Amino acid sequence: MDIILFEALHTRGLISDAALERVKTTTKNKLFSLHWELRTLLYLGVLLLSGGLGILVYKNIDTIGHTFILLFIALISAGGFFYCLKTKLPFSMGRVAPPNAFFDYVLLLACLSFVTFIGYLQFQYGFFGNRYGLVTFIPMLVLFIAAYYFDHIGILSLAITSLCAWAGITVTPTHILKDNDFESTTIIVTGLVLGTGLVATGVMTRLRNIKAHFGFTYTNFGMHLLFISVLAGMFTFGILYLLWFLLLAGVAFYFYKEAIREKSFYILVVLTLYGYIGLTYAIIRVLTWNSDMGGIYLTFLYFIGTAVGLVLFLIRMNKKIKTL
């Protein structure tokens, strides 16, 4: 902090003598924080280690026995869980801080190797037979339990993605549009149900006060899944698109209320952009109905006009949420 500035503030009578003293001592004793460097290093370490071990196992599958490999992976996982069980702070329905800087990463390593373990078991021994669902279901269950028991939002996100995988949908942020066939009815319906379920869970989490800080994670995944599914429905079921548009409007309205309640700019902007895509689709279909030049001119004007409108909307909403 800038001592000269605070001295000036002090002379103007804006801060007290004690405050100036505190600023001076804090600045003099300021520590250089390596927090983010060390966390990145730990994270990279876990990432490289689990990835490297995976490839190592894959390449040497012929020379090391499968049992040995399985045992080794199980050992890492069990060791990690054991460490976490031993060091964790008592469970509570609220937020529980990790007991030390490594806890989160050890838990991550334990969970990841558990997932590998189950997958390996199925691949090599066909442990679950043809009940493929179980191969994703069991890790999902363990991930959810670990997330709640040890209070780890990263693991919760992994659990939610595996829940979606179990239902047949990829929700990894950059893969959500690429890996899913959003023209299939099953996927759209699954997406709608899952999205609604996740949003509902988010609400329950908050109302019942069960790990209330997990709420945002549920709402966030659910919100994107819902919007994308509704938009996909609109694009796919051509004739009924007005019906889907109404559904979209409903979803957008719900999240509008949610944004106001949470005072969340993030939800507001997300709903605005998804809603805009839907509205544009509906309008453009009408405008380009008989594909002549006039429709194209109108389309351009539509974009300019609505975007200006939305800019004004966002500016107004920004003011509104700020004063809430």
CA 282 to CA 209: how far, in whole Å? 40
Among all chains, which residue has been given the structure tokens 């509906």?
Answer: 282
> Are the beta carbons of 39 and 79 closer than 8 angstroms?
no
Nearest to 198 by CA among 273, 251, 268, 276: 251
Of residues 9 and 96, the one with the C-beta less far from other proteins: 9
Nearest approach, Cβ of residue 178 and other proteins (Å): 11
Nearest approach, Cβ of residue 158 and other proteins (Å): 4
Of residues 246 and 274, the one with the C-beta less far from other proteins: 274
Of residues 221 and 245, the one with the C-beta less far from other proteins: 221
Tell me the DSSP string of 35-81: HHHHHHHHHHHHHHHHHHHHHHHHHTTTTS-HHHHHHHHHHHHHHHH
Nearest approach, Cβ of residue 9 and other proteins (Å): 6
Nearest approach, Cβ of residue 154 and other proteins (Å): 4
Of residues 36 and 289, the one with the C-beta less far from other proteins: 36
Of residues 33 and 291, the one with the C-beta less far from other proteins: 33
CA 202 to CA 212: how far, in whole Å? 8
Which own/partner pairs from 177-182 qualify as long-range (CB within 8 Å, at least 24 positions apart)? 177/228, 182/228, 182/229, 182/232, 182/235, 182/236
